[in-house]
């Protein structure tokens, strides 16, 4: 049974799936329905005027006309639901109106349909408002791009641009597609996509995203993703899918409403029959009271408040640069008491750089760097990007290796210069037995200097070591502070890097516990241990090595921009910036949503309860019942929409 007042919400989740057919229906209803409601309102006012100025016949005609104008919409929907063998609120409303007419209560009958129409209008408006907040995201990217090739510049629809094409982004224009800067310098306002408030400087080689706004420089961009594949398109698809998923609390509300409506109907029948038959009450009085009870049976406020809260929160999150893949995750975010962070690429990574290049056994430093860069060219790991950038800056030719393979938590390997090449941790080289005494000596020196060694092997033997420096992101410390302020009882650091580095970073950001030398399954084990000891866990990570832990956590949060696709896919929440303050923001939003839904349910139930009693006692009139319901819907909807402003 579709329990809410509006025929529009066949299912409250229709919010995300309003296709064009739906939208068309809405517009049609809006134009004719709204006009009819306005006219009915005027007629009711005229009827009231006529009745106080002693023209009862005129007033009856006015009320009847008002009913005739306002009833077709709910009557049509009631008919459709009856044919589908369900009893929806429209049917209840039509019965109540028919009853009022039968009792000769023209004023009552006309105000009930009219107020009911207003309630439906409000409901639709609030749903559209929340939905529009998400739609706004999708219309960010321009529909055409200026492609630059041998033939010159021409404007083409974005769907016709291919990966590898060069496009021109003029100053002040929106970037139409994802790509890397090929030439030109500019600052780009990424706030529409990532929520970052400051423009980000872009130089050749940097990534730009569809939907962001170019500053004062012209950029030539090499397209890396077709339009349907852009970060923005991915975000909007994910948010759309998110709306279709129902949160447990939402399912509870729906189940409750399904039982509640028939229960009130039974009560209404009993109320109409029992007192007159048993106690000899006046039949008309008790039928009227039963009709009032029927109107009270509309659980609108209860049912609409939840989806509106969730969609509003999802939209607020997306605007703040946090992508939550469904209402259920939002609800679980609200329950989290413990947060685990990955290190490389999550708590650190912005300042990752190569500090040392050591070659052993007669190899040259350039050869070590060239071999490392050849493998790392194909890697998504933040260490890999730092190595490739360093090699380029040092003018070491970077050839691409072939047969690349990531070794999550360890390193990577590829074929380079006709032989097998490998980079990664000391542990990896120990396990593969690639260590030599001279390599060992260099590794120890680098570790003593507090750096992370990345070993390089070629043709079955270690040829050198790179020393990486890495510092905690500024936002990490602040984020952890505000997590604690929000009552998170345990914050952990889980890393594949050495334990010494783990505790060094732990001191910088202030976590409760830090664990190093973890392989992907070890991270999962830690998540499970944390959950047993401290309750629901959120894991924040970026890499392929984090994917199992992200899936194992109650809520997996991926670093969206710098993170890998695997992490993004596995996670429940994606951060669109590297700003870790989004983590406490998401937790607070989750809690606020759950709180908002609970208070809405309490408001709705209290009002209903009061009206059931008042109706049975004969203290409430039909129009008061409808007005109370409209008021409650308005109240809870306004309460839900406040989430849109969350920051």
Alpha helices in 280-400 (DSSP H): 283-296, 300-319, 327-333, 365-376, 382-393
Q: Cβ neighbours of residue 529 under 8 Å, at least 6 residues apart?
A: none
Contact criterion met (CB below 8 Å) for 501 and 516: yes
C-beta closer to ligand ADP: residue 243 or 344: 344
Contact criterion met (CB below 8 Å) for 347 and 539: no
411 binds, among Mg ion, ligand ADP, none (CB under 5 to 8 A by kind): ligand ADP
C-beta closer to ligand ADP: residue 562 or 582: 562
Q: Cβ neighbours of residue 214 under 8 Å, at least 6 residues apart?
A: 169, 170, 171, 172, 173, 174, 175, 186, 188, 189
Q: How far is the CB of 387 from ligand ADP (least distance, A)?
A: 7
543: contact with Mg ion by CB under 5 A: yes
The beta-carbon contacts of 22-27 under 8 Å, at least 24 apart in sequence, are 26/124, 26/128
261 binds, among Mg ion, ligand ADP, none (CB under 5 to 8 A by kind): none
* Residues at the site binding ligand ADP, with contacts judged by CB under 6 A: 342-345, 376, 379, 381, 383-384, 409-412, 423-425, 452, 454, 495-497, 543, 545
Q: How far is the CB of 541 from Mg ion (least distance, A)?
A: 6
C-beta closer to ligand ADP: residue 493 or 612: 493
432 binds, among Mg ion, ligand ADP, none (CB under 5 to 8 A by kind): none
Q: Which of 192, 187, 216, 225 shows the shortest CA–CA distance to 203?
A: 187
C-beta closer to Mg ion: residue 267 or 375: 375
Q: How far is the CB of 304 from Mg ion (least distance, A)?
A: 42
Copy the structure tokens of residue 619.
Answer: 């203290």
Please, what is the angle between helix 248-279 and helix 283-296, to 10°? 180
344: contact with Mg ion by CB under 5 A: yes
Q: How far is the CB of 497 from ligand ADP (least distance, A)?
A: 4
Which candidate in 3, 88, 165, 342 is catalytic?
A: 342
Q: How far is the CB of 497 from Mg ion (least distance, A)?
A: 9
C-beta closer to ligand ADP: residue 412 or 586: 412
581 binds, among Mg ion, ligand ADP, none (CB under 5 to 8 A by kind): none
C-beta closer to ligand ADP: residue 189 or 420: 420
The continuous run of DSSP H or E covering 423 comes out as strand 419-424
C-beta closer to ligand ADP: residue 105 or 342: 342
Q: State the CB neighbour count (10 A cutoff) for residue 303.
A: 30
- Tell me which stretch binds Mg ion (CB under 5 A): 52-60, 127-135, 232-240, 336-344: 336-344
Q: Which of 346, 590, 342 shows the shortest CA–CA distance to 488?
A: 590
Q: How far is the CB of 527 from Mg ion (least distance, A)?
A: 15
Q: How far is the CB of 501 from Mg ion (least distance, A)?
A: 13
Residue at token pair 């399954």: 521
C-beta closer to Mg ion: residue 192 or 345: 345
- Characterize the bridge pairing of strands 219-223 and 179-183: antiparallel
Q: How far is the CB of 370 from ligand ADP (least distance, A)?
A: 15
Q: How far is the CB of 402 from ligand ADP (least distance, A)?
A: 16
Residue number, nearest CB to ligand ADP: 496
Facing residues of 395 across strands?
Answer: none
C-beta closer to Mg ion: residue 342 or 442: 342
Q: How far is CA 643 from CA 60, 236, 336, 364, in A?
A: 45, 19, 19, 59
Q: Which of 181, 186, 175, 189 shows the shortest CA–CA distance to 140?
A: 175
Q: How far is the CB of 536 from Mg ion (least distance, A)?
A: 22
Contact criterion met (CB below 8 Å) for 576 and 560: yes
The continuous run of DSSP H or E covering 557 comes out as strand 555-559
Annotation says 342 is catalytic: yes
C-beta closer to ligand ADP: residue 316 or 371: 371
Query: What DSSP string runs through 381-400?
Result: SHHHHHHHHHHHHTT---PP
Q: Which of 340, 339, 329, 244 shows the shortest CA–CA distance to 593?
A: 329
Copy the structure tokens of residue 150.
Answer: 């041998």
Give φ, ψ of 467 to 5 degrees. Answer: -105, 120
299: contact with Mg ion by CB under 5 A: no
Facing residues of 167 across strands?
Answer: 147, 221
- Tell me which stretch binds Mg ion (CB under 5 A): 78-86, 128-136, 342-350, 470-478: 342-350
Please, what is the angle between helix 20-52 and helix 56-70, to 10°? 170
The continuous run of DSSP H or E covering 573 comes out as strand 573-575
Among positions 12, 47, 345, 563, the unique one binding Mg ion when judged by CB under 5 A: 345
542: contact with Mg ion by CB under 5 A: yes
Q: How far is the CB of 505 from ligand ADP (least distance, A)?
A: 9
How many angstroms from the chain centroid is the CA of residue 356? Answer: 42
* Region of residue 178 (phi > 0: left; psi between -120 and 50: alpha; otherwise: beta): beta
C-beta closer to ligand ADP: residue 193 or 454: 454
462: contact with Mg ion by CB under 5 A: no
Q: Say how many residues touch Mg ion, by CB under 5 A.
A: 5
Q: How far is CA 508 from CA 337, 503, 582, in A?
A: 22, 9, 19
Binding mask 24-43 for Mg ion (x = CB under 5 A): --------------------
Instruction: Give the residues lining the site for Mg ion (CB under 5 A).
Output: 342, 344-345, 542-543
Active site amino acids: 342
């Amino acid at each position: 049974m579709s329990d809410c007042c509006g025929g529009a919400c066949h299912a409250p989740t229709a919010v995300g799936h309003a296709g064009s057919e739906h939208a068309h229906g809405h517009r049609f209803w809006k134009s004719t329905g709204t006009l009819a409601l306005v006219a009915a309102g005027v007629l009711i006012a005229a009827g009231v005027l006529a009745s106080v100025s002693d023209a009862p016949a005129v007033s009856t005609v006015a009320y009847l006309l008002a009913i005739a104008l306002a009833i077709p919409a709910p009557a049509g929907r009631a008919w459709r639901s009856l044919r589908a063998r369900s009893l929806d609120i429209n049917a209840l409303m039509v019965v109540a109106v028919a009853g009022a007419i039968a009792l000769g209560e023209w004023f009552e009958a006309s105000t009930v349909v009219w107020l009911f129409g207003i309630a439906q209008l409000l409901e639709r408006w609030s749903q559209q408002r929340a939905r529009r907040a998400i739609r706004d995201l999708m219309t960010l990217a321009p529909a055409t791009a200026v492609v630059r090739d041998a033939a010159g510049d021409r404007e083409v629809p974005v769907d016709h641009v291919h990966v590898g094409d060069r496009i021109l982004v003029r100053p002040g224009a929106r970037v139409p597609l994802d790509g890397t800067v090929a030439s030109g310098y500019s600052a780009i306002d990424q706030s529409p996509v990532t929520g970052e408030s400051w423009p980000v400087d872009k130089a050749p080689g940097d990534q730009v995203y569809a939907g962001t706004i170019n500053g004062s420089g012209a950029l030539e961009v090499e397209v890396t993703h077709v339009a349907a594949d852009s970060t923005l398109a991915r975000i909007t698809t994910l948010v759309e899918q998110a709306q279709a998923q129902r949160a447990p609390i939402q399912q509870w509300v729906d189940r409750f409403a399904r039982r509640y409506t028939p229960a009130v109907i039974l009560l209404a029948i009993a109320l109409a029959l029992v007192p007159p038959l048993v106690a000899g009450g006046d039949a008309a009085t008790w039928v009227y009271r039963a009709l009032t009870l029927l109107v009270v049976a509309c659980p609108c406020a209860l049912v609409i408040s939840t989806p509106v809260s969730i969609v509003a929160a999802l939209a607020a999150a997306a605007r703040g640069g946090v992508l939550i893949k469904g209402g259920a995750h939002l609800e679980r975010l609200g329950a989290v008491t413990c947060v685990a962070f990955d290190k490389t690429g999550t708590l650190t990574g912005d300042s990752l750089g190569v500090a040392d290049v050591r070659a052993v056994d007669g190899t040259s430093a350039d050869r070590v760097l060239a071999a490392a860069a050849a493998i790392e060219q194909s890697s998504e790991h933040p260490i890999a990007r730092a190595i490739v950038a360093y090699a380029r800056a040092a003018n070491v030719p970077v050839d691409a290796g072939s047969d690349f393979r990531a070794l999550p938590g360890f390193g990577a390997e590829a074929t380079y210069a006709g032989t097998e090449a490998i980079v990664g941790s000391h542990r990896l080289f120990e396990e593969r037995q690639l260590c030599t005494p001279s390599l060992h000596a260099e590794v120890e020196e680098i570790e003593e200097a507090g750096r992370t060694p990345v070993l390089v092997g070629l043709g079955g033997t270690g040829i050198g070591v790179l020393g990486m420096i890495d510092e905690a992101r500024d936002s990490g410390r602040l984020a952890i502070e505000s997590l604690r302020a929000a009552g998170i009882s345990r914050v952990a650091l889980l890393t594949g890097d050495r334990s010494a580095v783990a505790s060094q970073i732990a001191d910088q950001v202030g976590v409760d516990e830090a664990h190093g030398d973890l392989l992907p399954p070890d991270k999962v084990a830690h998540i499970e241990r944390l959950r047993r000891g401290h309750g629901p866990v959120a894991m924040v990570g970026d890499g392929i090595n984090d994917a199992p832990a992200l899936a194992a956590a109650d809520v997996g949060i991926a670093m969206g921009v710098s993170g890998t696709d695997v992490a993004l896919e596995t996670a429940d929440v994606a951060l669109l910036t590297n700003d870790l303050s989004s983590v406490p923001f998401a937790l607070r939003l989750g809690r606020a949503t759950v709180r908002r839904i609970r208070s809405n349910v309490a408001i709705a139930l209290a009002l209903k309860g009061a009206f059931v009693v008042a109706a049975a006692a004969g203290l409430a009139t039909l129009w008061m019942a409808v007005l109370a319901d409209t008021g409650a819907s308005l109240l809870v909807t306004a309460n839900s929409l406040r989430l849109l402003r969350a920051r």
